[in-house]
Amino acid sequence: RTLPILSLDAGLVFEREVGWFGRAAQQTLEPRLFYAYTPYRNQNNLPNFDSALADLVYAQLFTENIFSGSDRISNANQLTAALTTRILDDETGAERLRAAIAQRYYFTDQLVTLPGQPQGSDTSTDVLATLTAQLGRSWAIDLAMQYSAEEASVVQGTVGTRWQPGRASVLSAYYRYQSNGTSPNSTQSTGISQIDLSGQWPLTNRWYAVGRFNYSLVDKRVIDAVAGFEYQQDCWLLRFAVQRFATTAQNATTNFYLQLELNGLTSVGTSAANLLQRNIPGYHLLNPVPRSPGRFEFYE
């Protein structure tokens, strides 16, 4: 199967001087257009092993394929329009605030489908908006929402805060919401109301606690929980974590992770580091692998 894909990504950046809580700053206004075209090809005779309808998140609006995986390639004649504004500190260049809004428009029906699914005839997606604000050096606030014009309501949203005062020190609290029923851009049909707490925190110079607690207010049960510790010595590092997550409405599975790292040599055991990176926003690797320099690392 071979398909040509055309995509065009264009944008502009406008800047102006503003004040931001008594400090000099720059505000940007950044309109962006992303166009994608992929001709239709019937793929019903091809097996589907790993493709699924991709979650409708902000970054997905700037991709050519509405499916994840490689077994299905959607036909496309679509345009994403977006607008972003940022506040940048004049002295440090740090980004103090970022707000963005975007929507994708379809100029043709979505003919490529997953097995057993009908073809799509949406003319546009819901409106997606995101906001991130940095409050001082340690505090950050994140907000994301999906607004349905058809339902005239917010059908999905996330709001949370993150405190990160230093290296390997982060605490996060988030709330996630999704309305009942299936929106035009979501395959889920049940409502979601969840709190999600996570963190990585030093107990001593060598001991660190890590954990996550994801609780469903609708189902009144723990959806996902992680607890563990990290111990760092001069030349080695030990990680241990336990994860328990719901597999069905009544059942849950428990996994154990144990990992030993020898600095600059090797890592032995299950990858607890990957688990912690997936589950803890802002997680910091205590023993990061040195990055190999690129071909042009030392050229200006």
For the chain, the helix, strand and coil percentages under 3-state DSSP, each to the nearest 5? 5, 55, 40
189: confidence class by pLDDT, cuts 50, 70, 90? very low
Q: What tens digit of pLDDT does each residue of 119-131 get?
A: 899 999 999 999 9
3-17, 64-78, 116-130, 256-270: least confidently modelled range: 256-270
pLDDT at 185 over 70: no
Average pLDDT of every residue of the chain: 90
Average pLDDT over residues 36-56: 90
Q: What tens digit of pLDDT does each residue of 232-248 get?
A: 998 899 999 999 999 88
Q: Which residues contact 253 (CB under 8 A, 6 or more apart)?
A: 244, 245, 247
Round to whole Å and give the CA distance between 117 and 187: 10
Average pLDDT over residues 286-296: 62
Round to whole Å and give the CA distance between 263 and 265: 6
Length of the chain as a residue count: 300
Are the C-beta atoms of 82 and 102 separated by less than 8 Å? yes
Q: pTM score, two decimals?
A: 0.78
pLDDT at 182: 47
Dihedral sign of CA atoms 171, 129, 57, 29 in order = negative
Q: What tens digit of pLDDT does each residue of 191-212 get?
A: 899 999 999 999 999 999 999 9
